[in-house]
């Protein structure tokens, strides 16, 4: 009997030497969580792949698409699985090639992971190849640069047959690179920055600073929608929201107008660093891109960075806006980010922000208000929402749990 299942390829994990099984196990765990809406009965490692089987033994393109979004997945093939009987795998190869779309040339690549199977791969290549030539008389065999390769792989008592595979997002399974706190606004950049570090295996904990109570909570809703859009990839464990409006007003009254943004950002970074320590996260992440706006000059980046000791990762520092927007479209956040909402960044904006801040002036302004008490009170006011799609996320115990209000249903505001 021939069944249909998904074969997941993950070449980058293969590079990890003796950590390989940790990576593979994490990928299997993450796939279980990401595919909970499907009737999946088995996810298992076999001979360099992960296979995903469904109850109806007829895996769909929809299932393959969900798998492709999971970090660590290099490619996904909808494969046929049959027994070792050659008539079965020849028939499966004909079906697989028939579904491969437009092509002019093909080759067969037989593999054997069970040495007990008596046929040699050369013999299998010939057998399947000649059957395919007969079934597709107008197609050419090209062993060097074929348009399509039909793989016939014998593993234990089964044969896996596939011709086409579609690329996944690549990267590494979430949970293999520790945890980061990402500064998330509802703009285009920071959702992409979050996704990028998530794709490299980091568990992401975004923190959003809203202008509440001086603005509506629209930006919080947009951030929630952004995290919902990222959730199927399993990169986000929890979203924190910090109502920052009142404190921004205090800062705007205390410091020179041109330095306001730098002060807001320093406070934001310090609050994020505090949350990161409570979370056990090892780095902060922002969506900055060099020179994109006034606050993203080297001087201003340095002036803000000076407020924290934890590494600040800026995965988009060398990206152009168009590249970022294209990526945002791929990950499903672009449409949400194209809606504008006042957040803490649009509140109390100076007319002429400093573009080349001098450190002594920055530090002088910094000392002109009680930033320590401010950071403390902001950390105390955080709200959050958890995202179960990230199986490796563990919430911090202790302080946060006891004192902080869970967003229920979300920020308490009307949508
Ligand atoms: P984005 O598209 O991510 O909003 P931007 O182009 O608007 O970025 P800035 O406003 O200078 O640029 O923000 C730079 C970075 O600071 C953002 O990418 C984000 O990481 C962080 N940031 C900005 N505003 C907020 C906010 N309200 N809450 C949390 N982080 C923020
Ligand atoms: Mg922004």
- pLDDT, residue 413, reads 38
383 phi, psi to nearest 5 deg? -125, 160
- pLDDT, residue 13, reads 63
- pLDDT, residue 408, reads 44
Q: Is 257 annotated as a binding residue?
A: no
Instruction: Determine if residue 401 is left, alpha or beta; phi over 0 gives left, psi from -120 to 50 gives alpha, anything else beta.
Output: alpha
Helix, strand, or coil (residue 396): coil
Name the closest-CA residue to atom 20, ligand 1.
286
Average pLDDT by stretches of 10, the chain with 415 residues = 92 69 93 96 92 96 96 96 95 96 96 85 96 97 97 94 95 96 96 98 97 89 96 95 95 94 96 96 96 81 96 97 97 94 69 85 97 95 92 81 49 38
Q: Where are the alpha helices (DSSP H) in 241-288?
A: 245-254, 260-279
The ligand whose atoms approach the alpha carbon of 197 most closely is 1
Q: Is 247 annotated as a binding residue?
A: no
- pLDDT, residue 216, reads 85
Atom of ligand 1 nearest to the CA of 207: 29
Rounded Cα–Cα distance for residues 349 and 54 (Å): 54
Q: Using an 8 Å Cβ cutoff, are 24 and 50 in contact?
A: yes
Q: Where are the beta strands (DSSP E) in 156-257?
A: 158-162, 166-170, 179-183, 203-210, 238-243
Atom of ligand 1 nearest to the CA of 289: 6
Q: Is 209 annotated as a binding residue?
A: yes
Ligand 1: centre distance to CA 287 (Å): 6
- pLDDT, residue 409, reads 42
- Among 267, 235, 84, 266, smallest CA distance to 169 is for 235
Enclosing H/E stretch for 93: helix 86-98
Name the closest-CA residue to atom 16, ligand 1.
286
Q: Using an 8 Å Cβ cutoff, are 155 and 46 in contact?
A: yes
Atom of ligand 1 nearest to the CA of 209: 28
Q: Is 371 annotated as a binding residue?
A: no
Instruction: Determine if residue 361 is left, alpha or beta; phi over 0 gives left, psi from -120 to 50 gives alpha, anything else beta.
Output: alpha
Ligand 2: centre distance to CA 184 (Å): 9
Rounded Cα–Cα distance for residues 110 and 128 (Å): 9
Ligand 1: centre distance to CA 295 (Å): 10
Ligand 1: centre distance to CA 122 (Å): 57
């Amino acid at each position: 009997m021939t069944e249909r299942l998904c074969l997941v390829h993950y070449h980058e994990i293969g590079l990890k030497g003796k950590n390989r099984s940790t990576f593979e196990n994490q990928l299997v765990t993450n796939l279980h969580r990401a595919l909970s809406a499907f009737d999946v009965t088995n996810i298992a490692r076999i001979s360099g792949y992960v296979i995903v089987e469904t109850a109806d033994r007829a895996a769909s393109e929809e299932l393959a698409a969900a798998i492709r979004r999971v970090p660590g997945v290099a490619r996904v093939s909808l494969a046929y699985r049959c027994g070792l009987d050659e008539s079965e795998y020849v028939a499966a190869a004909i079906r697989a090639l028939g579904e491969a779309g437009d092509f002019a040339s093909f080759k067969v690549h037989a593999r054997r992971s069970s040495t007990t199977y008596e046929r040699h791969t050369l013999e299998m290549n010939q057998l399947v190849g000649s059957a395919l030539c007969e079934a597709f008389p107008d197609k050419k065999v090209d062993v060097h640069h074929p348009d399509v390769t039909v793989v016939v792989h014998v593993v234990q008592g089964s044969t896996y047959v596939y011709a086409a595979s579609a690329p996944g997002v690549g990267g590494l399974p979430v949970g293999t690179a520790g945890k980061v706190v990402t500064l998330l606004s509802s703009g285009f950049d920071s959702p992409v920055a979050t996704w990028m570090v998530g794709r490299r295996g980091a568990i992401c904990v975004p923190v959003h600073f809203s202008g509440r109570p001086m603005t509506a909570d629209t930006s919080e809703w947009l951030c929630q929608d952004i995290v919902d859009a990222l959730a199927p990839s399993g990169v986000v464990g929890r979203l924190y929201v910090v109502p920052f409006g009142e404190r921004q007003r205090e800062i705007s009254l205390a410091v020179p107008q041109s330095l306001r943004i730098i002060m807001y950002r320093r406070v934001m970074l310090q609050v994020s660093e505090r949350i990161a320590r409570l979370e056990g996260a090892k780095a902060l992440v922002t969506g900055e891109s060099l020179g994109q706006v006034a606050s993203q000059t080297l001087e201003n980046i340095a002036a803000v960075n000076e407020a924290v000791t934890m590494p600040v990762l800026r995965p988009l520092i060398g990206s152009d806006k168009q590249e970022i927007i294209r990526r945002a479209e791929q990950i499903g956040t672009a449409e949400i980010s194209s809606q504008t909402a006042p957040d803490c960044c649009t509140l109390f904006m100076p007319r002429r922000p400093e573009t080349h801040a001098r450190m002594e002036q920055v530090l002088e302004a910094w000392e002109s208000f009680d930033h320590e008490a401010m950071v403390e009170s902001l950390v105390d006011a955080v709200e959050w929402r958890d995202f179960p799609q990230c199986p490796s996320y563990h919430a911090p115990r202790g302080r946060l749990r006891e004192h902080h209000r869970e967003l229920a249903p979300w920020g308490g505001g009307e949508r």
